[in-house]
Every structure is written in structure tokens, then in C-alpha cells.
């Protein structure tokens, strides 16, 4: 809640709404990168088995998505997305539960702070061998490592979010006789939303990296694999352009998610002027 920006309508904020020109400029840069890629591969006589041309990659990607080919990629996309969405939901619930308990007792607070400090620096993919030991080559193993990568950044930003809720709002909640749950749901969570969204973004980023990495190592769970598995499989069969298409897909989905978070921010905290600056 920055008082100096309190009266500035969101549309006038310079930081978050790039002008048309700025967007255009970025597009030019992206096009330039793809053009240089294409030219180097085509003119430099690069072995397409090592580094395929951009046009081949896009062609394979489109075919994989069903434009002039078998729409096989959608299955892999869904497989990966379903794992990460399930883990995301679990992580959010777990993070809210842990941080709410930390609000209620100092012991729980210390516990959360220690365990967050321990697990946050650990790349959770390092837990995959143990997860395989515990859960076997199953979906549970994947969900376990992805949750372990997501829950800590979400919990730690939610802790900060709760700690910075205005005491006046907490008093307001007490004045209107809200109980513990009521205060949490009606005051604390919405007031902590700016930090929460930041945490969800970071958490999602960690989880996305982890799920793709885990699939690379892991292969298919059951009958179907995810995008990571698809990338690794393409290398096995020397369908390098397919592998590149998979990588491009990972990037594109990451960008789409990022813009979904931005959209949510625009509809909530930007509008309320509670953006964490």
C-alpha cells in the first residue's frame, strides 16, 4: 500500500503496461532471433541432426499439434499440465495450512521457518531418487518432487504477506466478530494476495522446471509420458526437430502461464492499489 501511488489509476502506471511500441520492439527482437537461427543453420550448412532449422522445428511443432499431422503433442501437454496443476493445488493448500498454523502458534512458526530455510535451497529434483524408492515409478513420485519445489516459495511469501497485513484491518475483523477462520478467509488472505501472487508465480516457475526435468529422468508414468519424456524420446530416435519442438513448447507454456498471472494481478491487486512495489 504505497500512499504516493494510491490515486494513480492502474492504466497510468508505467511499469506494468508497456506501450504498443514497446511490445512491437520486443516482437522485432524475437523475430530477429528466429531469423538469425534460420539463416545460420541454412547458410552455415549445420548438420540438422545436431541443430535443426527454425522452420523445421516450427513445422514439427505444428504437425504435432495437429496442423497437417497426428495431434500427438496434446496428450503429452496434458500429462505434464495435469501433474503440475495437481501439485500446484496441493502446494497452495499445504502452504496456506502451514502459514495459518504459524499465525496461531510460535512453535509452528519456528518449525515453518526452519523447514522453509532447509528446503528452499534444495533443488527438489535431487529428491527424485528417494521419491522413486518410496512411491515407485508412479505419478505420486512426480507430484511429490513438484510439490516439494513449489510449496516452500509459496509458504515463505505468504508468511511475509500475512506479517504485513495492516493491524487496522485485523482490528476491523475483530470488531465485526470474525473468528479465526473468518479472519483468515475474509481479511488475511485477500490482504496478503499481492505477496501470495508473487509467491505463486515463483512457485509455478520452480514447479514447471522441476516437472519437465523429472520427466526427462523418469520417462513415462504408466502408459503416457509428458513433454519432458517426449523431448528425451525424440533424442533417442534422433528426431531432433521434435525435441526442439518440445523445448519450444515448454517455453511457450511457461510464457502463457506468466501472462495468466499478470492478468490475475491486473484484475485484482492492480485494481485495488495494493500492489507490492
Partner 1 sequence: MVNAHGSVIDTVAIENVCIDYDVGPAKREKLRAVEDVSISIRRGEKLVILGPSGCGKSTLLMALGGFLPISSGTIKVNGTPVSRPSMERIMVFQDFYQLLPWLSVLDNVKWGIRKRWPKMKKEEVTRIALKQVELVGISRQAHQYPNTLSGGQKQRCAIARSFAATPEILLMDEPFGALDAINRERMQQELNNIWSEQDQPTTIAFVTHDVNEAVLLGHRVMVMSSGPGRIRAVVDNPHVGKPSDGPEAVNLAAHLRDLLKEEIR
- By CB under 8 A, which span of 19-27, 63-71, 104-112, 173-181 interacts with partner 1? 173-181
Report if residue 16 touches partner 1, rule: CB under 8 A. no
Radius of gyration for the alpha carbons in the chain, expressed in angstroms and rounded: 22
Among 11, 168, 223, 259, binds partner 1 (CB under 8 A): 168
- For residue 221, give the 3-state DSSP assignment: strand
**Nearest approach, Cβ of residue 188 and partner 1 (Å):** 12
C-beta separation of 16 from 270 below 8 A? yes
Q: Which of residues 119-148 bind partner 1 (CB under 8 A)?
A: none
Residues 6+ apart with CB under 8 A from 176: none
- For residue 224, give the 3-state DSSP assignment: strand
- Of the two residues 194 and 225, which places its CB atom closer to partner 1 in the complex? 194
**Nearest approach, Cβ of residue 102 and partner 1 (Å):** 23
- For residue 201, give the 3-state DSSP assignment: helix
How far is it, in rounded angstroms, from Cα 143 to Cα 160? 26
| Terminal Cα distance for the chain, rounded | 8
Report if residue 176 touches partner 1, rule: CB under 8 A. yes
Among 191, 195, 214, 250, binds partner 1 (CB under 8 A): 191
**Nearest approach, Cβ of residue 197 and partner 1 (Å):** 13
How far is it, in rounded angstroms, from Cα 12 to Cα 81? 35
- By CB under 8 A, which span of 64-72, 93-101, 128-136, 186-194 interacts with partner 1? 186-194
Give me the residues that bind partner 1 (CB under 8 A), please.
1, 6-7, 9, 166, 168-169, 171-172, 174-178, 187, 190-191, 193, 268, 271-274
Amino acid at each position: 500500500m504505497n500512499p504516493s501511488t494510491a490515486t494513480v489509476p492502474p492504466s497510468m502506471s508505467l511499469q506494468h503496461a508497456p506501450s504498443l511500441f514497446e511490445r512491437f520492439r520486443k516482437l522485432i527482437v524475437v523475430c530477429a532471433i528466429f531469423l538469425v537461427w534460420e539463416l545460420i543453420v541454412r547458410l552455415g550448412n549445420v548438420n540438422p541432426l545436431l541443430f535443426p532449422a527454425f522452420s523445421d522445428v516450427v513445422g514439427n511443432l505444428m504437425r504435432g499439434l495437429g496442423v497437417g499431422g497426428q495431434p500427438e503433442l496434446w496428450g503429452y501437454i496434458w500429462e505434464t499440465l495435469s501433474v503440475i496443476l495437481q501439485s500446484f493445488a496441493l502446494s497452495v493448500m499445504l502452504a496456506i495450512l502451514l502459514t495459518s498454523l504459524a499465525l496461531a502458534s510460535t512453535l509452528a512458526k519456528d518449525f515453518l521457518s526452519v523447514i522453509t530455510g532447509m528446503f528452499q535451497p534444495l533443488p527438489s529434483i535431487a529428491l527424485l531418487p528417494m521419491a522413486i524408492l518410496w512411491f515407485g515409478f508412479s505419478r505420486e513420485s512426480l507430484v511429490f518432487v513438484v510439490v516439494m519445489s513449489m510449496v516452500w516459495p509459496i509458504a515463505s511469501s505468504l508468511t511475509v504477506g500475512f506479517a504485513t497485513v495492516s493491524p487496522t484491518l485485523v482490528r476491523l475483523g475483530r470488531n465485526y466478530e470474525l473468528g479465526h477462520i473468518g479472519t483468515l478467509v475474509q481479511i488475511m488472505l485477500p490482504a496478503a494476495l499481492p505477496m501470495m501472487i508473487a509467491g505463486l508465480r515463483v512457485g509455478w516457475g520452480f514447479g514447471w522446471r522441476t516437472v519437465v526435468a523429472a520427466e526427462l529422468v523418469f520417462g513415462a508414468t504408466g502408459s503416457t509420458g509428458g513433454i519432458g519424456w517426449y523431448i528425451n524420446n525424440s533424442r533417442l530416435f534422433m528426431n531432433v526437430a521434435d525435441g526442439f519442438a518440445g523445448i519450444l513448447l515448454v517455453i511457450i507454456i511457461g510464457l502463457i502461464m506468466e501472462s495468466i498471472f499478470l492478468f490475475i494481478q491486473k484484475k485484482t491487486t492492480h485494481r485495488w492499489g495494493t500492489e507490492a512495489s
